Amino acid sequence: MYAIPLSMSSKRNSGSDTDTSGIEKSGALPVILVVEDEADLREMLADSLEQAGYAILQSGSVSGARHLMEKQLPDLVLLDWMLPDTTGLHWVRQLRRNARTRDLPVIMLTARGEVGDRVSGLDGGADDYIVKPFSLKELQARIRAQLRKQYSGDDQHQYMAGDLVLDVVTHRVTAGGAEILLGPTEFRLLQHFMQHPDRVYSRSQLLDAVWGQQVFIEERTVDVHIRRLRKELEPSGHALYIQTVRGTGYRFSTRIA
Range of the domain at 215: 158-252
CATH number, residue 172: 1.10.10.10
- On whether residue 257 sits in a domain, the answer given is no
Please tell me whether residues 37 and 96 are part of one structural domain. Answer: yes
Q: With b meaning 16 or more CB within 10 Å and e meaning fewer, what string describes 162-182?
A: eebbbbbeebbbbbeeeebeb
pLDDT band at 190 (very low <50, low <70, confident <90, very high): very high
pLDDT on residue 257: 62
- On whether residue 222 sits in a domain, the answer given is yes
Q: What is the mean pLDDT of residues 184-198?
A: 90
- Mean residue pLDDT of the chain comes to 81
- On whether residue 11 sits in a domain, the answer given is yes
> Which of 98, 132, 151 is where one domain is finished?
151
Residue 55 in contact with residue 143, Cβ under 8 Å?
A: no
Please tell me whether residues 89 and 199 are part of one structural domain. Answer: no
Please tell me whether residues 164 and 238 are part of one structural domain. Answer: yes
% of the chain with per-residue pLDDT over 90? 41
What's the sign of the alpha-carbon dihedral 170, 122, 40, 61? positive
Please tell me whether residues 210 and 120 are part of one structural domain. Answer: no
Please tell me whether residues 24 and 113 are part of one structural domain. Answer: yes
Please determine, for residue 180, whether its predicted confidence score (pLDDT) is greater than 90. yes
Please tell me whether residues 113 and 218 are part of one structural domain. Answer: no
Please determine, for residue 70, whether its predicted confidence score (pLDDT) is greater than 80. yes
- On whether residue 46 sits in a domain, the answer given is yes
Stated pTM of the model: 0.53
- On whether residue 241 sits in a domain, the answer given is yes
> Which of 129, 151, 173 is where one domain is finished?
151
- On whether residue 20 sits in a domain, the answer given is yes
> Which of 151, 169, 202 is where one domain is finished?
151
pLDDT band at 28 (very low <50, low <70, confident <90, very high): low
Please determine, for residue 6, whether its predicted confidence score (pLDDT) is greater than 60. no
- On whether residue 188 sits in a domain, the answer given is yes
pLDDT on residue 47: 94
Please tell me whether residues 141 and 163 are part of one structural domain. Answer: no
C-alpha distances in Å from residue 256, one per residue of 85, 242, 243, 249: 53, 10, 9, 16
Please tell me whether residues 22 and 137 are part of one structural domain. Answer: yes
Strand-by-strand arrangement of the 172-175 sheet:
158-161, 164-167, 172-175, 178-180
Please tell me whether residues 142 and 106 are part of one structural domain. Answer: yes
pLDDT band at 123 (very low <50, low <70, confident <90, very high): confident
Greater confidence, 132 or 161? Answer: 161
Most trustworthy range by pLDDT among 5-19, 50-64, 134-148:
50-64
Please tell me whether residues 233 and 215 are part of one structural domain. Answer: yes
- On whether residue 128 sits in a domain, the answer given is yes
Please tell me whether residues 51 and 126 are part of one structural domain. Answer: yes
pLDDT band at 150 (very low <50, low <70, confident <90, very high): low
Please determine, for residue 124, whether its predicted confidence score (pLDDT) is greater than 60. yes
Domain count, the chain: 2
CATH number, residue 117: 3.40.50.2300
Please tell me whether residues 129 and 34 are part of one structural domain. Answer: yes
